Structure 1
Amino acid sequence: MKIQLQSPDRSCECNVMIVPWCKSDTIPAQLSGYDAALSHEISRSIEQGKLEGKEGEMAVFPSYGKLPAKRILLAGVGSPDKLDRHILRKVLHTAYRQCLRDETAAIRLSLLASHFSADELVFEAATCLYSAAYTFDRYQEKLDKTPSRLSSLFIQIDRKAKDHAAVLREAEITGNAINLARDLVNTPANHMTPALFTEAALREAKNAGFGLQILEQKDIQELGMEALLAVSRGSTEPPKFLILEHNTGRTDLPTVVLAGKGVTFDSGGISIKPSRNMHEMKTDMAGAAAVVGTLSVASQLKLPLHLVGLTPLTENMPDGRATRPGDIVKAMNGKTIEILNTDAEGRLILGDTLCYAERFKPDYLIDLATLTGACIVALGHEAAAVLGNNAHLIDLLKQASGLCDERIWQLPIWEEYREDLKSDIADIANIGKSGAAGTIEGAAFLEAFAGSQAWAHLDIAGVANTTKPRFYSIPGATGYGVSLLLQFLKLLSTTGV
């Protein structure tokens, strides 16, 4: 995909010119040139009420050779007083998907200049294209051997192209990293075992320039990570524990540790899941995929932070050696865990991971996990849940969410939830007695292993994957988390700890 910046006063020969515009009952001045060339067809459509500019309205006007662009696509963004980043992204995705069979396209952003900064417009225009153009068809026979695909986009912006070159580069790196995360999650579990995930992470480490250390099963045993080992017992695939690092050893910089759940297939173990939709459990490593994508972006952008990514990798399978409900294991920090449900496995592997994070003395610790179905009950597929022990960290994540349209919603961790996790025969149980507040009690379990570290938990169960087309994604992985964490890291880079 080739994306170039261009001044709007330059003619642009392309298949389609996309022009986002706000709802209006008169033609905006910036459209007058197109309107005159098209014999006032645009203004007539507005006057006749056929064209309003309402949100999501797409109107195509062939130019019949009267303009350098073969077609003009007017993309309505709705009322100007309601226009926000969420609406802009929805409209851009919709418009791009109408152009994916074209070879070249351009987008003119000048009509939105009073609502967003030029940098914001360039960034959203580019990242939305990467998202809209994403496909995952590597396992399908190509019946159409020569499909026409959009290969070039010109972004027309009112200032000099060189002023936005860095923003465009950041958008391209981010778009590619999000799609990398989507690829990792979409890949079937037989092609994305812990070992194969490790190989993919190694390739990206070499490409992006971050460090990567691999802990094998023997290393995990020596560290006393019995919770992680308990989950892996039923699988013939040995577990892995990856340590990804940007600015290795830079203790003079703020340190952030990101921990991503990496269950490459989750059958539920002995507490086995129903067969219906179990195939979707290949996506249970979306947290780990987001961590790899984020390390890739941070490294390529050379963010002035010491960033560590931790990804415990395992399958959760039933077997004669598998952990049984009622078994007790000891985590890395010495706490004993009564495993009442083997399908509450994500918190087990993350518990050991949060303990391991302490050796980096992080200023902030964030974990991402497709942890609970209860999160989908609570928030649907519109937001991730955020919980934690540090109000400032959660506030920064909320600010970051507003900058990237990856939504989060805070839930509490009150003492009553901690009480519900008490075990009669161990330090803590991996599920609560009440069977209620599953998302909160999952986080309350993790809190016991975060200790005094400034920690936040993101339950991304409802947003990491979609089973139906949504404006931002085809069915499958969404890449959620990369944008949110990038914006958080950029905020931290500028504001400090």
Structure 2
Amino acid sequence: MTALTLSTAAAAGLRADAIVVGVAKGTEGPVVAPGAEAVDQAYDGRLAATLQTLGASGAEGEVTKLPTPSGFKAPVVVAVGLGAEPEKDQAFAAESLRRAAGCAARALAGSKKAVFALPVTGAADVGAIGEGALLGAYTFDTFKDNGTTGKNAKNGKSPLAEVAVLGGKPRDKAYKAAVERAVTVAEELNRARDLINTPPNHLTPMAFAAIAQTAAREHGLKVQVLDKKALEKGGYGGILGVGAGSASPACLVKLSYTHAGAGKHLAFVGKGITYDSGGISLKPAGHNETMKCDMSGAAAVFAAVVAAARLGLEVNVTGWLALAENMPSGSATRPGDVLHMYSGKTVEVLNTDAEGRLVLADALWAASQEKPDAIVDVATLTGAMMLALGNRTFGVMANDDAFRTAVHEAAGEVGEDAWPMPLPEHLRKGMDSPTADIANMGERMGGGLVAGLFLKEFVGEGIPWAHLDIAGPAFNEQAPFGYTPKGGTGSAVRTLVRLAELSAVGDLG
């Protein structure tokens, strides 16, 4: 686990493996960013010219390494691109700092300590740099073996062990809080990444539930696990229907954080399909290999509830993890079957690969019974949303325009790419069923919106609700970028934490 500290020492005197400085893309070449003055001075003011000679431009994500001048205890300078130089009297955006720190941390894998001398104008910048570095340093090697030390031994370069951020005020309350928040959010987001990256034979629904129970004991949360027997008794036909074909039983986990001073209650609901084969409506070849990530929504909800508890936010937060494995077998739900949902409605299953909305429907109705002030669900729900928004942006749908705007803005505040999407009422008719109250499929065009309309049917009356379809950004199959690794990303964790923070201070609707 990477440690994060603040330092007021001079960069030259700090013992570290590297000093990280920022470089911006100016109109005439790279420009040394604030925070790197001492390093630039040691190069006789020629750091930018040297970097340009080495091919650096200051573009976002660019990393250039060069030896430090004499007098520095760290042997290497790592210059990381911040993107376009801001206008005069303007500071670098927090997300630019976050991404740059992530790139640098990943480039320093195997190092023990790095000093980050990036632009700092206040506590928020320290938080962004620290968060980016901790997220960028993430690795997942639990199941790798170096061939000499046995089962689950580490393989390859270890993550950066310590990050020291210059420009902060270690004794200032605001800076201390920024560091605490950065560490908490990054550690919990990385916990979500670990869960997403875990192979499905090691993360069954009940195994996930056990992890939640352990975390609950550690952080003073209440936890309730509704196993198969309890689900049958309660009439949770959606979750049971999805899990019917698997040898690993489904479950619903309720994870609750309460604060004595709370005035609001938020409910987060996460899709937790620990492996999705498509069921009887089997996925085609080439679409199965990454389906361990279909529980990313539940991982995000789990991480956000724990983060709220660790930060001591004055808001009550309940997380609902709808966990099942979608497999084909003689006992699996068939296309044409009708499920009796927890809400009392019946659903005709036209496609068993549209299973996420079925487990979410039961969990949304369960969450609604507590009458929270708002509900947000998170799910890797539809390929249609990926077609609409690509691989790095999640869609936001809601039953209330103002709440949708608030969620979209919260995502932007923490650097998560999101886009508001509509819920056109005319698409609802396509889900009419001759044999049930509603079908789990509708029109093919606008499939992501159809899924949102289906979920809306299972939200309690009068409760503001938002649906985050994170199918695109939840799992990165391409090369790492910024602070985002290959594999599980932890998408939506930061948005959920921000929503909890806003609710705690009365700024969320």
TM-score by length of 2: 0.90
Q: What does 1:357-372 align with in structure 2 at a 5 Å threshold?
A: 357-372=367-382
Q: For 1:495 and 1:461, how far apart are their aligned partners in 2?
A: 30
Contact 1:215 1:242 in 2 (8 A): yes
Q: Tell me which amino acid in the other structure corresponds to 2:234.
A: L
Corresponding residue number in structure 2 for 1:182: 193
Change in CA separation of 1:174 and 1:420 when aligned onto 2, cut-off 3 Å: same
Corresponding residue number in structure 2 for 1:62: 67
Q: For 1:166 and 1:32, how far apart are their aligned partners in 2?
A: 27
Q: CA deviation at 1:371?
A: 0.8
Q: CA deviation at 1:9?
A: 4.2
Contact 2:261 2:314 in 1 (8 A): no
Q: Quick check: 1:7 aligned with 2:8?
A: yes
Contact 2:141 2:155 in 1 (8 A): no
Q: Quick check: 1:89 aligned with 2:89?
A: no
Q: Tell me which amino acid in the other structure corresponds to 1:328.
A: V
Range with greater deviation from structure 2 (148-157 or 414-423): 148-157
Deviations 1:122-159 (A, max 9, x none): 11111112211111111111258795652122100154
Which residue, 74, 81, 101 being the options, matches 2:79?
74
Which residue, 106, 131, 138 being the options, matches 2:135?
131
Change in CA separation of 1:184 and 1:49 when aligned onto 2, cut-off 3 Å: closer
Q: CA deviation at 1:182?
A: 0.7
Q: For 2:314 and 2:196, how far apart are their aligned partners in 1?
A: 28
Change in CA separation of 1:384 and 1:40 when aligned onto 2, cut-off 3 Å: closer
Q: For 2:37 and 2:458, how far apart are their aligned partners in 1?
A: 62
Change in CA separation of 1:329 and 1:46 when aligned onto 2, cut-off 3 Å: closer
Deviations 1:254-293 (A, max 9, x none): 0111000111111111111113231211111111111110
Corresponding residue number in structure 2 for 1:463: 473
Q: For 2:51 and 2:157, how far apart are their aligned partners in 1?
A: 35
Deviations 1:380-419 (A, max 9, x none): 1121111110222212211211111111111111121111
Q: For 1:352 and 1:4, how far apart are their aligned partners in 2?
A: 44
Q: Tell me which amino acid in the other structure corresponds to 1:331.
A: M
Change in CA separation of 1:493 and 1:271 when aligned onto 2, cut-off 3 Å: same
Corresponding residue number in structure 1 for 2:319: 309
SS at 1:397 equivalent: helix
Q: CA deviation at 1:34?
A: 2.7
Q: How many percent of aligned residue pairs carry the same amino acid? A: 33
Change in CA separation of 1:323 and 1:210 when aligned onto 2, cut-off 3 Å: same
Which residue, 302, 321, 338 being the options, matches 1:328?
338
Contact 2:101 2:130 in 1 (8 A): no
Q: For 1:304 and 1:141, how far apart are their aligned partners in 2?
A: 43
Change in CA separation of 1:51 and 1:466 when aligned onto 2, cut-off 3 Å: closer
Contact 2:19 2:114 in 1 (8 A): yes
Deviations 1:461-494 (A, max 9, x none): 1111011123133321001111111111111212
Q: For 1:301 and 1:75, how far apart are their aligned partners in 2?
A: 31
Corresponding residue number in structure 1 for 2:124: 120
Q: CA deviation at 1:61?
A: 3.3
Contact 1:38 1:66 in 2 (8 A): no
Q: CA deviation at 1:161?
A: 4.3
Q: What does 1:335-414 align with in structure 2 at a 5 Å threshold?
A: 335-414=345-424
Contact 1:6 1:161 in 2 (8 A): no
Which residue, 166, 191, 198 being the options, matches 2:177?
166
Change in CA separation of 1:153 and 1:352 when aligned onto 2, cut-off 3 Å: same
Q: For 1:97 and 1:146, how far apart are their aligned partners in 2?
A: 13
Q: CA deviation at 1:202?
A: 1.3
TM-score by length of 1: 0.92
Contact 2:266 2:315 in 1 (8 A): yes
Contact 2:304 2:493 in 1 (8 A): yes
Change in CA separation of 1:222 and 1:92 when aligned onto 2, cut-off 3 Å: same
Q: For 1:53 and 1:219, how far apart are their aligned partners in 2?
A: 57
Contact 2:317 2:500 in 1 (8 A): no
SS at 1:357 equivalent: helix
Contact 2:239 2:251 in 1 (8 A): no
Range with greater deviation from structure 2 (81-90 or 97-106): 81-90
Q: Tell me which amino acid in the other structure corresponds to 1:61.
A: L
Q: Tell me which amino acid in the other structure corresponds to 1:129.
A: A
The count of aligned residue pairs is: 490
Corresponding residue number in structure 2 for 1:53: 58
SS at 2:108 equivalent: coil
Corresponding residue number in structure 1 for 2:210: 199
Q: CA deviation at 1:243?
A: 0.6
SS at 1:69 equivalent: coil
Deviations 1:267-323 (A, max 9, x none): 111111113231211111111111110011001111111110111211111111111
SS at 1:495 equivalent: coil
Contact 2:394 2:417 in 1 (8 A): yes
Contact 2:219 2:309 in 1 (8 A): yes
Deviations 1:19-52 (A, max 9, x none): 1133456767865543443355426537979665
Q: Tell me which amino acid in the other structure corresponds to 1:7.
A: T
Q: For 1:68 and 1:270, how far apart are their aligned partners in 2?
A: 62
